[in-house]
């Protein structure tokens, strides 16, 4: 961070569990591991401006484009230590903000007025919402995720993301508090009239180089400007080299073939959020015929492009 020339307003960092909390300990040391995570998160946040929004996630694996050049080859790191941080400065015409919804153990019905408070409803400039569920193994977690995703399932908004191990930082929360036994959803919302976005879903049938590249051709057909654009890859832990019969980096390589100058970031997780959808203004590549999209998946990969407007 010593060489940063522009102060960040929003930071998304993602690391695998081994990097963030050290090697996996036994069950009896779980509390100590959580405390270590908290200490690491606090140390990272102290490096950033006090008013900076920070969202930190822990996942089973990482997808990252090494820094130095956007044309560097993206890497799928399924094993070993890895992590990255995306630092978003103030961007004219773009608003990025964090949000958090946790399951209320007393109420089965989610209060949708919280969407408006988080800027996710009654916001005509909302273009992209990245959603990350945590503690997905808890009872009621899938039902709660549906309660969050379904009201946001609109043609004018791109939804993408997945299920993570946990979140470690969320500076909009008091003391970054995370209920230990709760499940919920955290995320980033991107608003701005110049934002363009697109997603494609690689389902279980995408299992070789040809079909992976065909999915990238669909994404390319959206004609999203590639300058000032970020790629995100949210993949199931069951994909990667195991899915492609020991061939590594298949999907990241296919992405780079069609988007050589767009950096790619993301993770391997426990479930994916997204579908085939292209949003550029009011243009939707695939009409939904007034039927809600199926956005929650397993054993898939969601590829997403987010264009933040013309770089000045």
Q: Are 178 and 122 in contact (CB under 8 A)?
A: no
Q: Which residue has the tokens 């606090």?
A: 42
Q: Which CATH class is domain 196-307?
A: alpha beta
Q: Tell me the two tokens of residue 212.
A: 């992976």
Q: Are 205 and 90 in contact (CB under 8 A)?
A: no
Q: In angstroms, rounded to a whole number, what is the distance separating the alpha carbons of residues 279 and 169?
A: 30
Q: Is the pLDDT of residue 19 over 90?
A: no
Listed by start position, the domains of the chain span 196-307
The per-residue pLDDT for range 7-16, each reduced to its tens digit, is 889 999 999 8
Of 46-50, 55-59, 198-202, give the lowest mean pLDDT range: 46-50
Percent of the chain with pLDDT over 90: 52
The two beta strands, 158-163 and 126-134, are parallel
pTM above 0.85, yes or no: yes
Considering only the C-alpha atoms of the chain, give the largest distance between any 2 of them, rounded to a whole number of Å.
53
DSSP-derived 3-state class of residue 9: strand
| Torsion-angle region of 88 (φ positive above 0: left; ψ -120 to 50: alpha; else: beta) | beta
Q: Are 151 and 112 in contact (CB under 8 A)?
A: yes
b/e map 102-120, b = 16+ CB within 10 Å:
bbeeeeeebeeeebeebbb
What pLDDT, on a 0 to 100 scale, did the predictor assign at position 4?
A: 54
């Amino acid at each position: 961070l010593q060489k940063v020339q522009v102060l960040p307003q929003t930071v998304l960092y993602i690391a695998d569990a081994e990097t963030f909390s050290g090697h996996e300990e036994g069950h009896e040391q779980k509390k100590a591991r959580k405390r270590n995570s908290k200490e690491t998160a606090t140390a990272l946040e102290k490096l950033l401006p006090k008013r900076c929004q920070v969202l930190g996630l822990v996942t089973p694996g990482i997808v990252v484009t090494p820094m130095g050049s956007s044309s560097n080859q993206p890497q799928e790191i399924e094993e070993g230590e890895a992590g990255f941080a995306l630092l978003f400065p103030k961007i004219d015409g773009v608003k990025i903000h964090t949000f958090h919804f946790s399951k209320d153990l007393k109420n089965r019905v989610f209060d949708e007025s919280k969407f408006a408070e988080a800027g996710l409803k009654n916001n005509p400039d909302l273009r992209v919402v990245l959603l990350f569920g945590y503690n997905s193994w808890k009872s009621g977690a899938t039902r709660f995720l549906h309660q969050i995703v379904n009201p946001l399932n609109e043609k004018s908004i791109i939804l993408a993301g997945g299920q993570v191990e946990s979140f470690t930082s969320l500076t909009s929360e008091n003391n970054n508090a995370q209920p230990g036994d709760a499940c919920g959803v955290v995320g980033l919302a991107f608003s701005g009239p110049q934002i363009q976005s697109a997603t494609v879903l690689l389902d279980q049938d995408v299992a070789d180089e040809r079909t992976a590249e065909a999915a990238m051709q669909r994404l390319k057909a959206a004609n999203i400007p590639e300058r000032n654009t970020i790629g995100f890859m949210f993949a199931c832990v069951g994909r990667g080299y195991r899915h492609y019969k020991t061939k590594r980096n298949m999907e990241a390589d296919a992405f780079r073939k069609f988007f050589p100058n767009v950096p790619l970031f993301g993770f391997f997780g426990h479930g994916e959020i997204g579908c085939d959808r292209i949003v550029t203004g009011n243009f939707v590549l695939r009409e939904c015929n007034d039927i809600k999209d199926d956005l929650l998946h397993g054993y898939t990969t969601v590829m997403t492009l987010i264009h933040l407007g013309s770089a000045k």
